[in-house]
Structure 1
């Protein structure tokens, strides 16, 4: 494999590249740079397997000896990226964690639009409206990966999917799932421009049991905001409003859990 990138060593906190990359923990700098940060050999390997390689790969001596790390280094250099040998202290500075993992990778942020999606490539798509918790976002990406979903569509002012916490929670699914950020007024016309059944998880009236429905591919599973649910108009626009039985005192499920229950019901119907 021909190496076209370069490898260097950085040990100073005052290095301009270190200063620049540590700012990626802030949303405004991520947007300005069009870059985001991911930490850990597992996530970086998931990205490599998905055909996504970092622009910069920082690694400490402890991590560099691992066979997967060596493969990642070779692939990064071959793609024209830069490999930087550094110290655990600088990795901590980049990630914001005291006990940082031995690898921190910097990736270009994808700019995927609704019009870039081919809805027919997968029978399941997840849609979340104003999802605020990065852990929930990461969990939904992992769920989508597990059920073979095409991707996740975020509607409205959702948490930044490329923030460190969301990337970490996705456990690499940020690289295997298509991810689109859009507004409802753009999403609904796009959806109605082709095949697709929109199914809303809804606590209001006019609902049916989620297992009493035969879902049609592609199924778009819509969940609302963690604390407020979704606007009534969104639920009204759905082809189906479904509800999961609540046998205890709680009146609703966590948004990511509800999406997972729904996604597996749709998957199980396909399997059966």
Structure 2
């Protein structure tokens, strides 16, 4: 999407839009619904005043701010619009029908922002003594991914590595599930071969949860830099990824369930790692 070339207006302007067929609105809808479009454009959509405000406070570049006319006089909305304009974004005052078409909801969020994606690079991963990174192998559920990013933020983890064919962290559902933490937790992406090569340079422990794990997660050694490796929701870590771990652990269960939800299991592991290192 290139707002500066779009008939809806120039960056820094405020324009009124009532048509769902407006070219900028079509572009935003494509970002919401199509991963391919998000990847090509390097953009994503954040829905809701809180997420939009969080993103701008964290310094993420904003391209377009959209708000419903019925909230234009609310102080926080006015402030967000002024900040977006000052940063060169296109600001659109739109009808409820336009917001409904963007969010695909009958009761839409009244503020929507289009931001540039930001990715960290593998070379920026610092293996300091107290480092804690999470590696997620081909996670498929955006809600799980977003919840894990939120938990990583809560425990003060250094970042998340997305391995292989992982769901898009910039999908609307994933961004929503992070509750704004996506703007503060570095994300790195690697293919499995890239990860396995990079893992050989990791100076600390690599801990994975696995059915073959013989060590209770509460008794494992988490000293030094820790990389927590978690697998898919359905089948966990494949053999080649399990073999890359220096420790395989298990989370004991007393009931009939044969496994935990991925986001829950990751949270259990992260808080135990932090407890063991006396940081929480």
Secondary structure of the residue aligned to 1:168 is: helix
The alpha-carbon distance between structure 1 residues 83 and 128, as it changes in their structure 2 partners (threshold 3 A), is same
The alpha-carbon distance between structure 1 residues 265 and 65, as it changes in their structure 2 partners (threshold 3 A), is farther
* Map of 1:221 onto structure 2: 228
Show CA shifts across 1:67-117 (max 9, x none): 332332222122111111111211111122221111010011224331233
- In the alignment, structure 1 residue 64 sits paired with structure 2 residue 77: no
Distance in 2 separating the partners of 1:60 and 1:169? 23
Secondary structure of the residue aligned to 1:237 is: coil
2:183 counterpart (147, 150, 175): 175
Secondary structure of the residue aligned to 1:271 is: coil
Q: What does 1:1-272 correspond to in 2, within 5 Å?
A: 5-24=12-31, 25-120=33-128, 123-204=131-212, 206-271=213-278
Structure 2 residue ranges without an equivalent (≥5): 1-10
- Is the 2:199–2:244 Cα contact (8 Å) retained in structure 1? no
Show CA shifts across 1:142-169 (max 9, x none): 1011111111111111111111111111
- Is the 1:140–1:256 Cα contact (8 Å) retained in structure 2? yes
Farther-moved stretch of structure 1 (66-75 vs 94-103): 66-75
Alignment: residue pair count? 268
Secondary structure of the residue aligned to 2:62 is: coil
The alpha-carbon distance between structure 1 residues 192 and 216, as it changes in their structure 2 partners (threshold 3 A), is farther
TM-score by length of 2: 0.89
- Is the 2:65–2:111 Cα contact (8 Å) retained in structure 1? yes
The alpha-carbon distance between structure 1 residues 157 and 92, as it changes in their structure 2 partners (threshold 3 A), is same
Distance in 2 separating the partners of 1:65 and 1:242? 54
Secondary structure of the residue aligned to 1:261 is: helix
TM-score by length of 1: 0.92
Distance in 2 separating the partners of 1:228 and 1:85? 46
Shift of 1:64: 3.0
